[in-house]
Homo-oligomer: A and B are copies of this chain.
Amino acid sequence: MTELRPGDASLLRKVNTQATLSALRREGVSTLTRLGRITGLSRQTVEAVLDELTDRGWVREAPPDEGVMGRPARRFGFRADAGYVVGVDVGGERIVVSVADLNGEVVARERVAVSEEAAAPVRLEAARRAALACVDGAGVSRARVLAVSAGTPGVVDRSGRVSLSITLPGWTGVDLAGVAGRWFGCTALAANDANLAALAEHWRGSAQHASDVVYILVGHRPGAGILIGGRLHRGRSGAAGEIGTLRQVGWEDAAMELVKEGGAAEVFAAAGAGDAHAAHRVDRYAENLAIGAAALVLAVDPDLLVIGGGYSRAGDVLLGPLRRHLAELCLSAPEVVASTFGDESVALGGVRLALDHVEREVLGL
C-alpha cells in the first residue's frame, strides 16, 4: 500500500542530489571522482549536482590537495556553516541549550539554573535568553538559525503545545513551539524530553545500531521515549511512552521512596560503596522502575533499552538491579545500557530533530 507518486526526469536529479549530498556530508571534503565512486554515479553527474548545490549555497569548493600524484582534483565540502540549529532542554531545574551547525557539530552550549517553582513566563524567558546567548556567544548570526527544537517534561502534542504537565507550574497549555519560533523567527518544534533524548542516543550515543529503542529518562518522575525503525514515535497526541500514568506501574511514587531520607545521589553512592540498606532502597526503586520498563518493553519489544537522566549516572548500581527485575518480568528482556550523554542528551536530541526538519524541508527532499 505504498503510495508512490510518479515522476519525470527531475525526480532523478532530486534523488541523485540527495545521494551526493549525503555522501559528501559523510566524507566531509571530497573530490568529484571519489564521490562518483562512492555514490555509483558518473563524475559528470556528480559535477553537475555539485555545481547546482554550490549555486544554492550548500556546498563550497575547497583548495585542491597538494603533493599527490596526478592532476590535482577539485575538492568540495559541505558548507556546514550555511545554517545552524538550536536544541533546547526546558527542564524543571535547568535549561540547557546546544547550538550546532548543519553537520550536527555542537558549536556552543549554555546551561542556566531555573527554579522548579518558576512560573511558565519566567521559565520561557529564561529559555529565550539562554538560547539567544548561546547563539550570540557562538558568533552565529541569529538570522542563520534555521530551526529550533525544544524538549520538556510532560506531554507535548503534534503542534508543539504542552498538553499536560504534572511537574511544572502553569506549564500545561504553553505553546512551546510557537514561542520558540519567535526567538529566531524560524520554524520551531517541540517534543517530550525523553523523546528527544532517545533521538540523541540513536544518533550518536549507545543506541546507534538499534532500530527500535525504548529510552527511559529516570529522575523525579520518569518519562519514556520510543523509536520505531530509528524514527521517533510520538503517537496520536504525543503521549507515547507515558506509561507512568498507570497506577499499577507505580512510577509516580517510585522516586519518593528513593529520596525519602536524603538525596538520591547519596543513596546511589552509598549503595555503590556497599551499604546494604542503601542497596536495598536502590533495589526497591529499580523494581518499581522495572514494572513500567517491562510494560514498555513488552508492548514494543525493542532492540535496546536505554536508561538516561540524572539517576543514570549511578551506572550499574542502578542498572544491575534493573536488569535483574526486568528479566523476571519479561519473556526475553533486551539489552539494557546507560545513556552516553549526561544531561546534554535532551538538547542534543533537539539538535537532531531540528536537523531532521532542515534536511527534509530546507534541503528539499
Known contacts A233-B228, A245-B331: does B301 contact A239 (CB below 8 Å)? yes
Query: Which B residues are in CB contact (< 8 Å) with A15?
Result: 4, 6-7, 11
Contact of A4 among B18, B212, B241 (CB under 8 A): B18
From the candidates B18, B295, B329, name the one contacting A295 in the complex (CB within 8 A): B295
Query: CB distance B246 to A298 under 8 Å?
Result: yes
Chain A, interface residues (CB within 8 Å), range? 35 or more
User: Does A336 sit at the interface, judged by CB under 8 A?
Assistant: no
Complex interface bits, A1-35 against B, C-beta within 8 A gives 1, otherwise 0: 11111111101100110111010000000000000
Are B331 and A164 within 8 A (Cβ)?
yes
- Chain B residues with CB under 8 A of A246: 291, 294-295, 298, 329
Q: Roughly how many angstroms separate A6 CA and B20 CA in the complex, as a whole number? A: 8
Choice from B2, B19, B240, B247 contacting A300 with Cβ under 8 Å: B240
A9 contacts B6, C-beta separation under 8 Å: no
> Could you tell me if B155 and A331 are in contact, using CB atoms closer than 8 angstroms?
yes
A315 on interface, CB distance cutoff 8 Å: no
**A311-336 interface (Cβ within 8 A of B):** 329-332, 334
A245, B330: Cβ atoms closer than 8 Å: yes
The closest CB in chain B to the CB of A6 belongs to B19
A82 within 8 A of B: no
Report which residue of A3, A228, A247 has the largest number of chain B beta carbons within 10 angstroms of its beta carbon.
A228
CA distance A245 to B11 in the complex (A): 48
Contact A298 B4 (CB under 8 A): no
Determine the residue in chain B with the shortest Cβ distance to A42. Answer: B8
Residue A365 at the B interface, CB < 8 A? Answer: yes
- A236: interface (CB < 8 Å): yes
Contact present for A299 and B301 (CB under 8 Å): no
Contact of A1 among B1, B230, B296, B303 (CB under 8 A): B230
Shortest A331–chain B CB gap in Å is: 6
Q: How far is the CA of A40 from the CA of B291 in the complex (A)?
A: 53
Smallest CB-CB A-B distances: 10 pairs: A235-B301, A6-B19, A299-B299, A240-B301, A239-B301, A295-B295, A6-B16, A4-B18, A243-B298, A236-B303
Contact sample, A vs B, 24 pairs, CB 8 Å cutoff = A6-B20, A6-B39, A7-B12, A8-B12, A164-B331, A212-B233, A235-B300, A235-B301, A235-B302, A236-B301, A236-B302, A239-B331, A241-B299, A241-B301, A242-B301, A243-B298, A245-B331, A246-B294, A246-B329, A248-B248, A248-B295, A295-B295, A295-B299, A299-B299
